[in-house]
Structure 1
Amino acid sequence: MFQSIYRAQDFWWIHLHRLTPLLSVSAMSWKLFVVLLVGFLAWAHHAFCPPKTRICGSTGGPPIKGPRIKLRDGRHLAYEEHGVPKERAKYKIILVHGFGLSKHEASIANTELSEQLDIHFVSFDRPGYGESDPDPKRTIKSTALDIEELGNQLGLGDKFYIIGNSMGGQVVWGCLKHIPHRLAGAALIAPVVNYWWLSFPPDLWSQAYHLQLPQDQWALRVAHHAPWLVYWWNTQKWFPCSSVVGGRPNFTAPDLKIISSFGGRSLHREYAMQQGVYESLHRDMMVGFGQWDFDPMKDLDDPFQDGRGSVHVWQGDEDGLVPVTLQRYIAEKLPWIRYHEVPNAGHLFAVADINSRKAILEELLLVGK
């Protein structure tokens, strides 16, 4: 019996010595796996998590040079005033800038109509842009409430007009939904559409969606279905990012002509993104193409049924960024909107054409009564 026990001990001792190299290799493999895992997690954190926002006025952040108001939640909103002094102004208009721009996008204020009609303009940096604090909880509704508070603190009266360009047009939709009682009139210039508004017929949606560059189709899918990937998608080097984020939008010939007239100037782009691209450009994509709390074609009513105001949509028929077919459909579903289609015009028609800017103001303030 004892011989059997001794033989068993010898057997396991001998084989344990044989397994020792294998165990050492296994331990080394495990250590290598841990090292690789830690390395991957470090890379993933760097790739997927945006860098800390450089908030204006904070240590190491950009300086605050212009006026700002303090909002209900402690954030600050930067603004700029144009036109005649508000004390003698007959009309007061808040301007909402587009994607990658800022309060300096106020060319519509630079017309002789400002003096002729006594117009006071207020432009502002949307949250995360320019000198306005970021809003990690930003939604279409929250920006509309920011605008209402801006009007209150600047003393623009019970009602004011609002004009939104491109991505700023989405903000105007939000104002029509959430603060219609504060509006005297509204104009949306080439407003960006959310392809996931359910009222779009599937065939029309599909046709318009596939007019976009393939890289933009993917970027929009990410923004809608996986917003937590937006930063990585637009900063990685494996696939093309959004053409707009990358500075190569799908501009058509009319737009390229306008851009060439600027001689390559950045139009204050550095100022607009000085706090970082995540809380400005990327947040815009997540909000603009994410899940909305309403569908404009289904959930909006005419805020001016008494005839004391009007809503206008202006759209170029050669816009390469916003399909004209979708804009026409929106206007058809909302017959109270006054739809203006500009022939031979792209996305930027209101930037350089003074006649278009004058027409927008005249229709909003005079004809639209």
Structure 2
Amino acid sequence: MFPNIIISIMKKSLLVFFTGFLAWAYQSIRAPPPKKLGSPDGLPITTPRIKLRDGRHLSYKEYGELKEIAKYKIIYVHGFDSNKHFAVIATKASPDLIQDLGVYIVSYDRPGYGESDPNPNQTLKSSALDIEELADQLGLGSKFYVVGYSMGGQVTWTCLKYIPHRLAGVTLIAPVVNYWWPRLPANLSNEAYSKQFLQDQWCFFIAHYLPWLTYWWNTQRFFPSSTIIANSPAILSRQDIELLPVFTAGRAPVIEGQVRQQGEYESLHRDLNIGFGTWEFDPMEIENPFPKNEGSVHIWMGDEDKIVPVTLQRYIAQQLPWIKYHELKGAGHLFPYAHGISDAILKALLLGES
């Protein structure tokens, strides 16, 4: 009789422990809700926003000439862990060049970043449609240019797929590549993947195969998580280190703090899940949007980029010969911040200069 009581107590204790463990595990992998934006009790709204068809808001910032008189209208798509305030082609290009050419640039916070509402139903297609609706509500005309940097380059691929008829020209600056795009050769993709830091390999693996664990993986303390999220100096090339003072100049703490203010899941983690998840299309199946040379598509890449493998960019450019590929020797991921590079990017896109 006595042993039966002990067994019963042990069973109940195990049940309580197991139930508690499940509750802890559920809370650990479940991302918290985003912080609220706007009055009366939410985060402050400091820049204009448009209201999209589905009720969400996109926050934006304008640079350069007035859109009413500008000859060229560009939508800039920011990268990972960034926001609308860091539109490098606007902030680092020569003001005289922007004025002489008549360039208007609008940068916006992608969903969940800065002051733009999250999109719990975000897809690759919705990213392109957000850009199209932003252009329409701002009155940018039937065609406009799109420039995307880093993870923003992935969003730019979606424009080439879903809204090519709206594009006057496109530039992808050091665009992030998804290692699981179907038409990337397995040997080439695996080689590039294996050269990433081990913790980044795990981060990408989880975002692709176990996206419901992305929040937990990037917030747990048992194993090292993403070097990029941690802003590790190990991801910087020699040129990147030299450009750090330029990159960080003008990044006021208040503006920098806006990037992740709604929560890391809604900004960084959802970005990882979409960027490295299973894509709805393969970029290498995209057809030339400008068969009559009425526009152009450019990829700019540094050959010493430690974040985005240059080998994969070279292969993509070879498979899509209509892309004008620019590879900069000795350049890292921050090369657009080098003197004169943003000018060169704009001249190539708008004037066709090589």
* Fold shared by both chains (TM-score > 0.5): yes
2:262 maps to 1:275:
yes
In structure 2, how many angstroms separate the alpha carbons of the residues matched to 1:217 and 1:195? 10
**Secondary structure, aligned partner of 2:313:** helix
How far residue 89 of structure 1 moved from its aligned partner, in angstroms, is 0.4
Indicate the residue corresponding to 1:259 in structure 2. Answer: 244
Number of the residue aligned with 2:283 = 296
Look up the match of 2:97.
113
Q: Deviations over 1:248-290 (max 9, x none)?
A: 1622111112114556875643111100000100000000000
Structure 1 residue corresponding to 2:60, chosen from 55, 75, 79: 79
Residues 292-338 of structure 1 deviation map (CA, whole Å, 9 limit, x = unaligned):
111111x2011011111000000001000111110000000000000
Tell me what 2:224 maps to.
240
Q: Distance in 1 between matches of 2:247 and 2:270?
A: 27
Q: Contact 1:100 / 1:269 at 8 angstroms: preserved in 2? A: no
Letter in 2 for 1:26: I
Deviation string, structure 1 residues 105-126 (Cα, Å, up to 9, x no partner): 1231132211010111100000
Partner of 1:227: 211
Query: Percent identity among equivalent residues?
Result: 54
User: Of 319, 322, 326, which aligns to 1:340?
Assistant: 326
Q: Which residue of 2 is the match for residue 356 of structure 1? A: 341
Instruction: Trace 1:206-221 onto structure 2 (pairs within 5 A).
Output: 206-221=190-205
SS class of match (2:301): strand
Matched to 2:221, the amino acid is K
Q: CA deviation at 1:58?
A: 6.2
Q: How many corresponding residue pairs?
A: 348
After TM superposition, the score normalised by the length of structure 2 is 0.95
After superposition, where does 1:44-59 map in structure 2 within 5 Å? 44-57=25-38
User: What is the RMSD of the two structures over their aligned residues, measured on CA atoms?
Assistant: 1.6
Tell me which residue corresponds to 1:175. 159
- Greater alpha carbon shift after TM alignment, 251-260 vs 126-135: 251-260
Q: 1:182 to 1:263 in 2, by over 3 A?
A: closer
Residue 299 of structure 2: aligned partner = 313
Once residues 278 and 265 of structure 1 are traced to their aligned partners in structure 2, the CA distance between those partners, rounded to angstroms, is 26
Which residue does the alignment assign to 2:75? Answer: 94
Q: 1:172 to 1:263 in 2, by over 3 A?
A: closer
Q: Which has the larger radius of gyration?
A: 1
2:247–2:334 Cα contact (<8 Å) kept:
no
Structure 2 CA distance for aligned equivalents of residues 272 and 263 of structure 1: 14
CA 1:202/1:263 → structure 2, altered by over 3 Å: closer, same or farther?
A: closer
Residue in 2 that maps onto 1:131: 115
Does 1:328 pair with 2:314? Answer: yes
Alpha-carbon distance change, 164 to 240 in structure 1, aligned in 2, over 3 angstroms = same
Provide TM-score, normalisation by structure 1. 0.91
> How far apart, in 2, do the equivalents of 1:158 and 1:330 lie?
29
Runs of 4+ aligned residues of structure 1 deviating over 2 Å after TM superposition are 58-61, 260-269
Deviation of 1:46 after TM superposition, in Å, equals 2.1
2:142 aligns to what? 158
Query: 1: distance between equivalents of 2:131 and 2:158?
Result: 10
Secondary structure in 2 matching 1:254? helix
- Name the SS of the counterpart of 1:338 in structure 2: strand
Q: 1:264 to 1:247 in 2, by over 3 A?
A: farther
Contact 1:93 1:119 survives alignment (8 Å): yes
Deviations 1:319-365 (A, max 9, x none): 00111110000000000000000111000100x22311000000000
1:45/1:60 CA distance change after superposition, 3 Å:
farther
- Report the counterpart of residue 181 of structure 2 in structure 1: 197
- 1:115-159 deviation digits (Å, cap 9, x = unpaired): 010111100000000000001111111010000000000000000
Give the deviation of 1:237 after TM superposition: 0.8
1:61 and 1:275 in contact (8 A); partners too: no
- Give the aligned residue type for 1:167: M
Change (3 A) 1:106 1:261: closer
- Structure 1 residue 34: deviation in Å? 2.6
Other structure's SS at 2:68 match: helix
* C-alpha distance in 1 between matches for 2:107 and 2:238: 29
Unaligned runs of 5+ in 1: 1-18
Whether the aligned pair in 2 keeps the contact of 1:310 and 1:368 (CA below 8 Å) is no
Aligned to 1:287: 274
Distance 1:360 1:306, change over 3 A: same
How far residue 235 of structure 1 moved from its aligned partner, in angstroms, is 0.6
Q: 1:263 to 1:182 in 2, by over 3 A?
A: closer
The whole-number CA distance in structure 2 between the counterparts of 1:239 and 1:332 is: 38
Deviations 1:7-59 (A, max 9, x none): xxxxxxxxxxxx1x122212211221132123212211221001111031266
Which deviates the most, 32-41 or 140-149?
32-41
